Amino acid sequence: MAPRHPQAASPIDRRFALKSGVAAIAALLGQGWTVQAAESRLPLGFTSVAPTLRDAVVVPPEYDHQVLYRWGDPTGIPGHMPTFRSDASNTAAEQAVQAGMHHDGMHFFPLGNDGKRALLVLNHEYTDEHLLHADGPRPLTLEKVRKSQNAMGVSVVEIERTPGGWKQVLPSAYARRIHGNTPMRLAGPAAGSARMKTVADPAGQQVLGTLANCAMGVTPWGTYLTCEENFHGYFGADKGSPWAGEAASQRYGIGPGAQWVDWYRLDERFDVTKHPNEPNRFGWVVEIDPMDPTSTPIKRTALGRKCTESATCTLTRDGRVAVYMGDDARFEFIYKFVSRDRVSPGGYAANRELLDHGTLYAARFDANGHGVWLELTPGKSGLAASIGVADAAEVVTHARLAASAAGATPMDRPEWIAVHPQTGEVFVTLTNNHQRGAPGRPGPDAANPRVANLGGHIIRWSEAGADAGASTFEWRHFVLAGDPAQPASGTRYPSSQVDPFGAPDGLYFDRAGLLWIQTDMSGQAIGKGAYASLGNNALLCADLASGQIKRFLTGPSGCEITGCVVTPDRSTLFVNIQHPGETSDAGGGMTTSAWPDGGIPGSARPRSATLAVWRRDGGAVGT
């Protein structure tokens, strides 16, 4: 069992005990170390990185970087540290104690106040079956299904700062892998309800595993929230099989033949004809205590079931927690959960049920720049039994149906949400939506103004009274992204001093208020068409005061950049390189990258990995 670090949670509690409302947001984001001497450099003083299609990580000349924790590296669990084999012959059992595939959302939890040790907690979103298995995806075996399940979920890794850079601590008493077979619990309104009950779990309370872990959140009390995004791809049956599934399941993309992988052939709980309720137990936000490797992760159903992309926490003026969430699918919605109770000092122990009681809302963006939070409560906002949301359990399980009935605005794929640490203003990425305005699909609206939106956009809003608990807000666009040189691109940037980008996805404010934008143009579209001049996916830094946006880092071929977090002292930025070499969203066996280990693209096995980036002179990142 890991020692609970005595310093780990206390700085958060101290600040939250003293502050509430917007002032406390800074405390939330700045938890942990005290800031070093005032930074005299100008924001965005670094040299912009030019767009490039190189199969490499490129950072500004004033900066350096290193690779940490690649797919397959041991997580550091004592007594279980198998090395990665480059022919992908590691077993499913070994994969369960190694870094998963396709790193995504991530947070940095300091251990103590000396700036030397920390936990990185990160998501593993999905698998490329061609890279994961030594002989590829076929024939499918139960061992391959298990390896795939074990390659998703969450890693908790310990790192330490050394004179030569950051180093993973091996072994570590904190090290943990949570994956597709880790026992966890359901809590909140849907726990124990009819739709959660299965043959294996007649009480509807215990679930095996978390899947499709994309973006994340961190609570004021120091726990990590992992979000289950494209869970629907893992449940299915033979195409055309008789199936008595609900219409709501179709809205979630679930049904015979709709699966991405055929786990159901070998692992029966993924067969929707035999276990139609099993997919209802996924699509949630899962709370994890990173400081206790023996703790049970908890699926917080009060936050609603959807392809949850992010769960960004802030505080209301009266000290409750507000959680902002995107549902990343075309024409889906933006959500907010506000807890019933106030956050208490005392860490997780004092806030164990805070995310189980509260109100869920979905956002309506009106043409005049006004916005309304529509309350998703039975009997309110037009929610009635006739649309299948008669009680609180049904509302959260079928949140998409509830939000549609309430009149929420269908968005261009809401991904990450970030809250400004000083003003409380909220920013959301809408990554792209090529179907906007297509025949039979919704046309452009004020918030999603472009047809065939490939560039993607970023919306900003301020809650009424600067209170995250408010029921209305005022919104405007921050960016309509894309390449301004393309005819009819319809781009709009906040100043002329901008490096253009496409398909914004990851979004993160550091404690100084610099906004870090991470892009995810799809692998097969990089360097072509609307994205022709934008190079590989990139990490950009925006200074809201000047409107300047500069390209800070570009990634290897085919990769997405995601999961950015800056240390509280601003000395290091950690960011994830996801799916280097991607040539199709499903993974086609071909790769365009040999990053990070080298070799010949097409035959090498590229690996998602975490990067640490820092200024050579020790100054704050982003300057």
Separation between Cα atoms, residue 472 and residue 463, nearest integer Å: 6
Contacting ligand FEO (CB under 6 A), which of 415, 463, 499, 543? Answer: 415
Shortest approach of ligand FEO to residue 584 CB, angstroms?
Answer: 15
> Which C-beta is closer to ligand FEO: that of 207 or that of 214?
214
Contacting ligand FEO (CB under 6 A), which of 262, 289, 327, 328? Answer: 328
Structure tokens at 150: 């074990």
Helix (H, G, I), strand (E, B) or coil at 193: coil
End-to-end CA gap in the chain: 41
Peptide bond into 60 cis (omega under 30): no
**Contact partner, 560, from ligand FEO, Ca ion, none, Cβ < 5-8 Å per class:** Ca ion
**Of residues 352-371, which lie at the interface with ligand FEO (CB under 6 A)?**
none
Going residue by residue from 396 to 435, which x/- string records binding to Ca ion, judged by CB under 5 A? -------------------x---------------x----
Applying CB under 5 A, which part among 158-166, 167-175, 373-381, 520-528 lies near Ca ion? 520-528
Structure tokens at 518: 């991470």
Which neighbouring-strand residues pair with 228?
A: 213
Contacting ligand FEO (CB under 6 A), which of 55, 129, 228, 229? Answer: 229
Helix or strand holding residue 500 (H, E): none
**Contact partner, 499, from ligand FEO, Ca ion, none, Cβ < 5-8 Å per class:** none
> Does position 228 bind ligand FEO by CB under 6 A?
no
Shortest approach of ligand FEO to residue 507 CB, angstroms?
Answer: 12
Helix (H, G, I), strand (E, B) or coil at 113: coil
> Which C-beta is closer to ligand FEO: that of 204 or that of 414?
414
> Which C-beta is closer to ligand FEO: that of 292 or that of 309?
309
Helix (H, G, I), strand (E, B) or coil at 238: coil
Going residue by residue from 523 to 562, which x/- string records binding to Ca ion, judged by CB under 5 A? -------------------------------------x--
**Of residues 198-217, which lie at the interface with ligand FEO (CB under 6 A)?**
214
Separation between Cα atoms, residue 273 and residue 501, nearest integer Å: 43
Separation between Cα atoms, residue 330 and residue 555, nearest integer Å: 26
Going residue by residue from 97 to 116, which x/- string records binding to ligand FEO, judged by CB under 6 A? -------x------------
> Does position 125 bind Ca ion by CB under 5 A?
no
Cite the beta strand spans of 394-547 per DSSP E.
411-412, 414-419, 426-430, 457-463, 472-480, 504-509, 515-519, 538-543
Going residue by residue from 36 to 75, which x/- string records binding to ligand FEO, judged by CB under 6 A? ----------------------------------------
Structure tokens at 436: 């906007």
> Which C-beta is closer to Ca ion: that of 397 or that of 592?
592
SS (H, E, C) 151-170: CCEEEEEEEEEECCEEEECC
Q: How many CA atoms lie within 13 A of 284 on its CB side?
A: 32
Q: Specify the amino acid at residue 174.
A: Y
- Other beta carbons within 10 Å of 1: 7
> Does position 128 bind Ca ion by CB under 5 A?
no
Applying CB under 5 A, which part among 92-100, 180-188, 365-373, 516-524 lies near Ca ion? 516-524
**Contact partner, 327, from ligand FEO, Ca ion, none, Cβ < 5-8 Å per class:** none
> Does position 332 bind ligand FEO by CB under 6 A?
no
Separation between Cα atoms, residue 577 and residue 314, nearest integer Å: 27
**Of residues 329-388, which lie at the interface with Ca ion (CB under 5 A)?**
none
> Does position 505 bind Ca ion by CB under 5 A?
yes
Shortest approach of ligand FEO to residue 125 CB, angstroms?
Answer: 5
- Other beta carbons within 10 Å of 139: 7
Separation between Cα atoms, residue 182 and residue 467, nearest integer Å: 37
Contacting ligand FEO (CB under 6 A), which of 289, 309, 467, 499? Answer: 309
**Contact partner, 229, from ligand FEO, Ca ion, none, Cβ < 5-8 Å per class:** ligand FEO
Shortest approach of Ca ion to residue 349 CB, angstroms?
Answer: 32
* Residue that has been written with the tokens 């299904």 in this structure: 145
Contacting ligand FEO (CB under 6 A), which of 94, 125, 278, 394? Answer: 125
> Does position 129 bind Ca ion by CB under 5 A?
no
**Contact partner, 412, from ligand FEO, Ca ion, none, Cβ < 5-8 Å per class:** none
**Contact partner, 13, from Ca ion, ligand FEO, none, Cβ < 5-8 Å per class:** none
Give the nearest residue (CB) to Ca ion: 520
| Sign, CA torsion 402/404/408/413 | positive
> Among 281, 419, 283, 287, which Cα is nearest to 351's?
287
Separation between Cα atoms, residue 73 and residue 464, nearest integer Å: 47
> Does position 582 bind ligand FEO by CB under 6 A?
no
Separation between Cα atoms, residue 148 and residue 326, nearest integer Å: 26
> Does position 327 bind Ca ion by CB under 5 A?
no
> Among 593, 553, 478, which Cα is nearest to 66's?
553
Q: How many residues does the chain have?
A: 623
Separation between Cα atoms, residue 309 and residue 325, nearest integer Å: 7
Applying CB under 5 A, which part among 128-136, 419-427, 439-447, 505-513 lies near Ca ion? 505-513
Shortest approach of ligand FEO to residue 329 CB, angstroms?
Answer: 9
> Cβ neighbours of residue 22 under 8 Å, at least 6 residues apart?
317, 422, 423, 424, 466
207 near 299, Cβ under 8 Å?
A: yes
**Of residues 497-536, which lie at the interface with ligand FEO (CB under 6 A)?**
505
Contacts with Ca ion by CB under 5 A lie at 415, 431, 505, 520, 560
Contacts with ligand FEO by CB under 6 A lie at 104, 125, 214, 229, 309, 328, 415, 505
